Amino acid sequence: MINEKVQDVLNSQINKEFYSAYLYLAMSAYFDKLGLYGFSNWTKIQAREEVEHGMILFDYIVDRDGTVNLTQIDVPEKDFKNPKQVFEKILEHEKFVTESINCVAEMSEGECDIATRQFIDWYISEQVEEEANARSVIKKLNMFGDEKAALYHLDKELGEREYKHHTYEAG
């Protein structure tokens, strides 16, 4: 059976993952409104991945004979200025999630829940990738400035991203 303190922090993380999906969907709607369908595609795929991340945590708690406790999901921000600001918010949010995941790792280690400590390593690796992806888009947006043709090409590039099903893979 899973340690109760660790179970609580994992339940909290489920909420953060589902909130992340809501946030990405709000960003996708913003991009749709601008006609940046590639940016919209990118953020929709992010939303799907965040739901999967939440479900992996959900299944882990169940597999450990714990209790899943779903709580209300906050309303995400929906007013944005421009694509660069959106990706800066993405990076800021992913850093927040990274910090939260690190706290799960620390909590599970402190509670001598080695199974959860090893399980959460997958999330730590995912967060490195999430932050790097956001930084990459920000760098491109910084380089292009207000150049519309470059924005068009970046939109096209982001539109080529395809959804890949995420599953937990033990290290």
Q: Over the stretch 115-169, which tens digit does the pLDDT of each residue have?
A: 999 999 999 999 999 999 999 999 999 998 778 999 999 999 999 988 888 776 6
**Is 128 a domain residue?**
yes
Does residue 14 register a pLDDT over 80? yes
What 3-state DSSP class applies to 171? coil
Q: What CA–CA distance (Å, rounded) separates 106 from 108?
A: 6
Q: What is the C-alpha separation between 139 and 2, in angstroms, rounded?
A: 42
Q: Is residue 106 part of a domain?
A: yes
On whether residue 84 sits in a domain, the answer given is: yes
Residue 165 in domain: no
Domain-located, residue 167: no
Q: First-to-last CA distance in the chain?
A: 21
Only one residue has tokens 């199974």, namely 115
How many domains would you assign to the chain? 1
Cβ 72 vs Cβ 12: under 8 Å: no
CA 81, 85, 87, 90: dihedral to nearest 10 degrees? Answer: -90
> Which residue type is seen at 57?
L
Q: Is residue 170 part of a domain?
A: no
SS (H, E, C) 20-83: HHHHHHHHHHHHHHHCCHHHHHHHHHHHHHHHHHHHHHHHHHHHCCCCCCCCCCCCCCCCCCCH
Please tell me the distance from the alpha carbon of residue 166 to that of residue 130, in angstroms, as a whole number: 13
User: What pLDDT is stored for residue 145 in this prediction?
Assistant: 79
Is it the case that residue 15 has pLDDT exceeding 90? yes
CATH number at residue 23: 1.20.1260.10
pLDDT tens digits, one per residue of 22-80: 999 999 999 999 999 999 999 999 999 999 999 999 999 999 999 999 999 999 999 99
Q: Is the pTM of this model over 0.85?
A: yes
Q: Is residue 78 part of a domain?
A: yes
Q: Is residue 166 part of a domain?
A: no
Q: Which domain holds residue 41?
A: 4-159
